């Protein structure tokens, strides 16, 4: 018998297709678990196979419906813990509530920390995630967090495109570090759009730091929901003389409003990942890259007690 516990991968209803693709990459079957709802909306979970002493990974992005998917994850974790799993790793490609990471107004919660506490209380022993909205969220957990980046997946695609004379643009000051990493990888220069948030769905781009005149532009950001930030950035970049405008977004939680804004914007192509399901209506305005191999390799290395750091390295 091998000393290493058998790997088991389960998923809720948030993104079954991604879990199946991860299992296909790892050549393991997707674990058998029933995840249903009672008529009153309560979630019911039953794991239909023996997982005693197994190394369990639960794949569940906490994308919309956020609260439903978060509760499914917590209940799946509790079921696995009570079934005597050897170790439970929550694989959360998109970590909901990540933007509520500080008290920026009086009498508001730090919900990202609450979610971290809930996951640990449920029985999560390790977290695997990708492109957190704020990297300091890793410190909200008192358990190991493996934080992956979509950059290598994006770079494989971008390197196949003719994006000469390129400027990488951060659509706000907070995204400069991420944009700088893309600029370095692509051998491009860097520019910043300064924005002002008016409401939860409205932002206003005020001016551009850097030269974009006559250049192709790649706007990079970790998340878009209403596409207000990136479409406003694209509009002011076009006004400043930018040529072809592309957007590379790690997590595209596209609402109907976002789809319409993207169609009406000067953005030539939105490039994103399948960290969350991209609805069929939104798929027409986005190029969706799979992160199944990235997450699958992260799971394999965690299971085999190997380093995941080399997953950040770009293949030349």
Range of the domain at 221: 151-289
Residue 213 to residues 75, 159, 268, Cα–Cα distance (Å): 52, 22, 17
111 and 184 assigned to the same domain: no
Say what the pLDDT of residue 316 is: 45
Total structural domains in the chain?
2
Say what the pLDDT of residue 304 is: 95
Ordered strands of the 55-59 beta sheet:
7-11, 55-59, 87-92, 126-130, 145-148
The total number of residues written for the chain in this structure: 316
- Give the pLDDT of the chain (316 residues) as one tens digit per residue: 347 899 999 999 999 999 999 999 999 999 999 999 999 999 999 999 999 999 999 999 999 999 999 999 999 999 999 999 999 999 999 999 998 988 989 999 999 999 999 999 999 999 999 999 888 889 899 999 999 999 999 999 998 888 889 999 999 888 899 999 999 999 999 999 987 666 666 666 678 899 999 999 999 999 999 898 899 999 999 999 999 999 999 999 988 889 999 999 999 999 999 999 987 666 677 899 999 999 999 999 999 999 988 777 665 4
Please confirm whether the linkage preceding 65 is cis (ω < 30° from 0). yes
- Please name which of 239, 249, 60 lies closest in space to residue 150, comparing C-alpha atoms: 249
Q: How far apart are CA 154 and CA 182, in angstroms?
A: 9
Annotated catalytic residue 195: yes
219 and 142 assigned to the same domain: no
In-domain check, residue 2: no
Say what the pLDDT of residue 1 is: 36
Residue 224, Cβ density class (10 Å: 0-12 exposed, 13-18 middle, ≥19 buried): buried
90 and 118 assigned to the same domain: yes
190 and 284 assigned to the same domain: yes
190 and 161 assigned to the same domain: yes
Q: How far from the centroid of its chain's Cα atoms is residue 69's Cα? A: 15
Q: Is the pTM of this model over 0.85?
A: yes
Catalytically annotated residue among 177, 195, 263, 316 = 195
Please confirm whether the linkage preceding 193 is cis (ω < 30° from 0). no
Say what the pLDDT of residue 164 is: 85
In-domain check, residue 296: yes
Contact status, residue 299 vs residue 143, Cβ threshold 8 Å:
no
262 and 196 assigned to the same domain: yes
In-domain check, residue 208: yes
166 and 263 assigned to the same domain: yes
Say what the pLDDT of residue 203 is: 63
Neighbours of 159 (CB within 10 A): 13
Residue 105 to residues 96, 108, 196, Cα–Cα distance (Å): 20, 6, 16
In-domain check, residue 182: yes
34 and 144 assigned to the same domain: yes
Q: Which two tokens stand for residue 307?
A: 């380093």
In-domain check, residue 192: yes
190 and 119 assigned to the same domain: no
180 and 260 assigned to the same domain: yes
157 and 130 assigned to the same domain: no
Q: CATH number of the domain that 214 lies in?
A: 3.40.50.2020
In-domain check, residue 1: no
Say what the pLDDT of residue 50 is: 98
Q: Which two tokens stand for residue 147?
A: 């934080």
């Amino acid at each position: 018998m091998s000393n290493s516990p058998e790997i088991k991968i389960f998923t809720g209803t948030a993104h079954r297709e991604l879990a199946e693709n991860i299992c296909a990459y790892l050549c393991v079957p997707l674990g058998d678990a029933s995840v249903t709802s009672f008529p009153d909306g309560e979630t019911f979970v039953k794991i239909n196979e023996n997982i005693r002493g197994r190394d369990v990974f639960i794949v569940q992005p906490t994308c919309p419906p956020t609260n439903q998917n978060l509760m499914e994850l917590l209940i799946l974790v509790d079921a696995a813990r009570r079934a005597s799993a050897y170790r439970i790793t929550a694989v959360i490609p998109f970590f909901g509530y990540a933007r509520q990471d500080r008290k920026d107004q009086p009498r508001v919660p730090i919900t990202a920390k609450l979610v971290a506490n809930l996951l640990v209380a449920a029985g999560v022993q390790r977290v695997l995630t990708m492109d957190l909205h704020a990297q300091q969220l890793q410190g909200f957990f008192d358990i190991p967090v493996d934080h992956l980046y979509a950059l290598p997946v994006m770079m494989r695609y971008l390197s196949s495109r003719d994006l000469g004379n390129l400027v990488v643009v951060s659509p706000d000051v907070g995204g400069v570090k991420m944009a700088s990493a893309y600029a370095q990888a692509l051998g491009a220069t860097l520019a910043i759009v300064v924005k002002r948030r008016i409401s939860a769905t409205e932002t206003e781009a005020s001016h551009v730091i850097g030269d974009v005149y006559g250049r192709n532009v790649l706007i990079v950001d970790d998340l878009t929901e209403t596409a207000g930030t990136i479409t406003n950035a694209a509009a002011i970049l076009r006004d400043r003389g930018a040529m072809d405008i592309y957007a590379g977004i790690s997590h595209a939680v596209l609402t109907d409003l976002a789809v319409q804004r993207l169609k009406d914007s000067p953005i030539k192509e939105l490039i994103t990942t399948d960290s969350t399901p991209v609805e069929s209506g939104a798929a027409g305005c986005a190029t969706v890259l799979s992160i199944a191999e990235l997450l699958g390799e992260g799971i394999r290395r965690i299971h085999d007690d190997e380093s995941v750091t080399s997953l950040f390295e770009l293949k030349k």
